[in-house]
Amino acid sequence: MNSSFQIGKIMGIPIKLHWTFLFIILVVAWSFGSSSLPWFGNTYGFGNVEPLSVRWIFSIAFAILLFICVGLHELGHSFVAKKQGVEIKSITLYFFGGVAAMDEIPRDSKLELRMAFAGPLTSGIIGLVSLLIAVLSSSMFGPKQPFTIFFWTLGWMNLILMIFNLIPAFPMDGGRVLRAWFAARMPYAKATRKAAEIGRMFAILMFFLGLFTLNFFMLFIAFFVYMGASEEEKATTINITLEGIKVRQIMSSDVRTIDPAMTLKEIKDLMFHEKHRGYPVVEGGELLGIVTITDLQKVPEEKRDITRAGDVMARKLYVIAPEEEASVAMKMMNESAVRRLPVMDAGRLVGIVSREDLVRAIELCSEQGL
């Protein structure tokens, strides 16, 4: 089941909503609709707005617009990236914010610096413009009017978003700024490692602060930052380790293929004896699909002697060329949730590369200090 759905495109970038986004809209609307605090001479929140119907109309509208601002924050990153030729696959809005999915974070420290600053800068501009509108509204209608409160609250929330994202906790924007600063002075892998260590340190501090104040949202953010820093460090290390290694260097060229008429019982016996978890299905030299142990497990034992490979094989294939980088193969496997890729050259099956091949290559390169 796809947990996100597309709502449109901006600058050619698909904009998606995660299902949790619908839940947090209501939570944010309730939070700001049930509270009202004095803030620099104005009111922050709609708790004192009357009548009740007006209060909740403004609260829900505020929650929706706030997350549109989060989307604009991500578009700020994406605009700079696209101007420099970096492909943005999509922007997904989650309940904790937005995430822009791109092919790869550029290793140009100056470009990463510009990209990292673009998001907070966008939030800062939105915040200042909103506060200016609030000041004008206050002079015309008064500080306690819903319209004034709306833009006053929106302005400060965007400024808070800007400041929060500039905390040097990797993988947040401030952490990426820090990584870019390190990368201008040391190898990229070391820069990522140092930024990730600082990110984890901030996450631990946030965790204890959230624990002592019973702030469960801060506890979640701490977990997100800690895991994000660790995953980014791991992904960067893998990509750098696999740099310069071609798929043809690590693939298995002696590929055992099976016929589409082969029964699942025969395939199971073959897997047991040869210790393979999947086989390409080939007929007349043409690759038709691939059968894995997962496909077998979907068919009851008593039906496997009458079910053919061609009946259950995966026909949607993710293939790779032998001259592609091994890091590209790893990325394709992660994104497609597959464990092996047929290697095709001029329409001909020349090998297969598995996740185990990639792990072995990483271990050997790490052992050699590469």
Asked if residue 122 has pLDDT above 90, the reply is yes
Residue 316 has what DSSP assignment? S
For the segment 198-224, what is each residue's pLDDT rounded down to a tens digit?
989 999 998 999 888 877 778 878 888
Q: Per the residue annotation, which of 50, 74, 266, 286 is the catalytic one?
A: 74
Which of 83-97, 259-273, 327-341, 344-358 is the least confident region?
83-97
Task: Flag whether pLDDT at 367 surpasses 80.
Answer: no
Catalytic site residue 74?
yes
Percent residues over pLDDT 90 in the chain: 19
Interacting residues of 267 by C-beta distance below 8 A, sequence separation 6+:
258, 279, 291, 296, 309
Confidence check: pLDDT of 7 > 80: no
DSSP labels, 92-127: EEETTEEEEEES-----HHHHHHHHHHHHHHHHHHH
Q: What's the mean pLDDT in 147-166?
A: 91
> Where does the pLDDT of residue 159 fall: very low under 50, low under 70, confident under 90, or very high at 90 and above?
very high
3-class secondary-structure state, position 324: coil
**pLDDT > 70? residue 370:** no
Any idea which of 53-57, 64-68, 103-107, 192-196 has the lowest mean pLDDT? 103-107
pTM of the full structure: 0.71
| Predicted local distance difference test score (pLDDT) of residue 1 | 45
When pLDDT is averaged across residues 103-110 and rounded to a whole number, the result is 71
Helix, strand or coil, per DSSP, at residue 47? coil
